[in-house]
C-alpha cells in the first residue's frame, strides 16, 4: 500500500523543482513562501494579511487561457501580487495593461526586479504597473477587467476592497471577471458586489458581471 505521506512529500518536491525551473528559465525569483511575520514593512492592515505562496505557472496559464475574452480590451489586476509571478504569467497574454497591488515593501521590490528581468519569448504585454500600497486604497480603472486574488487578505480588508469594486462598476458598468483562488471568503463576493458565481472549480471560483 502506498503511503499518503510519501506521495505528498514527492508532490511537494516535484512542485518546488518546477517552481525553480520556471525562475531559472525566465531569470526571475518568484519561489519561496513568505509568512506574514516576514512580510517586512507593511501598512496598518498587517493583522488581516495572508502569507505569500506562489501559484503554479501551468495552473495560471491554463486558467487565463480559458477566460474566453478579447484580451487587448481588458486590464489584468492582481490584488496581493507578492513577488509578481501571476503578473509575469499574465504578461504572456496580450492584455491592455497588467497591474499588481502589494502592501509589503519587500515583496513589491522583488516583484519590481522580476518585471524588469523577466525573459520570455512568449511575452505579449509589457505594460506592467506595480503599486505599493494597501488594496483598500486602490482605485479600479473604468475598463473591462480581470481581477485575480489568491486569498490575499481576510474579510476586514476583503470587504472594503469589494465595496470599492462595486462602486466602480456602478459608476461605469462594464464586464468584470474575478478569479478567486483559495476562495475561503467567497460568500463576500456576492454579498458586496454585483459579481455572481459562474464556475466553481477545485482550487478557485470564477465570478462575473456583465453590463446589460
Look at the alpha carbons of 82, 86, 91, 96 in this order and tell me if their dihedral is positive or negative.
negative
Q: Specify the pLDDT at position 13.
A: 45
C-alpha dihedral (47, 49, 52, 57), degrees to nearest 10: 170
Residue 189: what are its φ and ψ, rounded to 5°?
-60, -50
> Do the beta carbons of residue 84 and residue 76 sit within 8 Å?
no
37/24 Cα distance (integer angstroms)? 27
Q: Which residue is it, cell 496598518? A: 44
Could you give the C-alpha distances from 37 to 41, 52, 56, 107, 140, in angstroms and in order? Answer: 10, 11, 23, 13, 29
Could you give the C-alpha distances from 174 to 57, 89, 145, 162, in angstroms and in order? Answer: 28, 24, 8, 15
Q: Which domain holds residue 95?
A: 4-209
Q: Specify the pLDDT at position 7.
A: 45
C-alpha cell at 197: 458565481
Q: Domain count of the chain?
A: 1
C-alpha cell at 7: 506521495
Q: What is the CATH number of the domain that holds 20?
A: 3.40.50.150
Mean pLDDT per block of 10 residues along the chain (212 residues) reads: 50 62 91 61 53 79 94 97 95 98 92 96 97 94 97 92 98 97 95 96 91 68
Tell me the three state secondary structure of residue 97.
strand
Q: Specify the pLDDT at position 150.
A: 93
Tell me the three state secondary structure of residue 36.
helix
C-alpha cell at 51: 502569507
- Which stretches of the chain are DSSP H helices? 4-26, 57-65, 85-90, 105-117, 155-171, 187-192
> Do the beta carbons of residue 74 and residue 144 sit within 8 Å?
yes
148/171 Cα distance (integer angstroms)? 21
Q: Specify the pLDDT at position 164.
A: 98
Q: Which residues have C-beta within 8 Å of that of residue 72, sequence separation ≥ 6?
A: 94, 95, 96
Q: Specify the pLDDT at position 3.
A: 55
Q: Taking phi first (over 0 means left), then psi (-120 to 50 degrees means alpha), and beta for anything else, what does residue 32 get?
A: left
Amino acid at each position: 500500500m502506498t503511503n499518503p505521506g510519501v506521495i505528498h512529500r514527492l508532490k511537494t518536491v516535484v512542485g518546488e523543482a518546477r517552481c525553480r525551473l520556471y525562475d531559472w528559465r525566465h531569470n526571475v525569483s518568484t519561489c519561496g513562501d513568505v509568512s506574514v511575520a516576514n512580510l517586512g514593512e507593511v501598512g496598518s492592515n498587517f493583522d488581516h494579511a495572508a502569507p505569500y505562496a506562489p501559484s503554479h505557472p501551468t495552473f495560471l496559464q491554463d486558467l487565463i487561457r480559458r477566460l474566453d475574452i478579447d484580451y487587448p480590451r481588458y486590464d489584468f489586476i492582481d490584488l496581493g501580487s507578492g513577488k509578481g509571478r501571476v503578473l509575469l504569467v499574465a504578461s504572456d497574454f496580450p492584455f491592455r495593461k497588467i497591474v499588481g497591488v502589494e502592501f509589503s515593501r519587500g515583496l513589491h521590490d522583488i516583484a519590481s526586479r522580476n518585471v524588469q528581468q523577466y525573459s520570455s519569448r512568449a511575452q505579449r504585454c509589457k505594460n506592467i504597473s506595480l503599486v505599493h500600497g494597501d488594496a483598500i486604497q486602490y482605485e479600479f480603472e473604468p475598463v473591462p477587467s480581470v481581477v485575480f486574488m489568491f486569498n490575499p487578505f481576510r474579510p476586514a480588508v476583503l470587504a472594503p476592497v469589494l465595496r470599492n469594486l462595486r462602486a466602480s462598476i456602478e459608476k461605469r458598468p462594464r464586464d468584470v471577471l474575478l478569479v478567486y483562488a483559495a476562495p475561503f471568503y467567497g460568500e463576500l463576493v456576492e454579498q458586496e458586489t454585483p459579481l455572481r458565481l459562474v464556475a466553481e472549480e477545485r482550487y478557485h471560483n470564477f465570478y462575473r458581471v456583465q453590463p446589460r
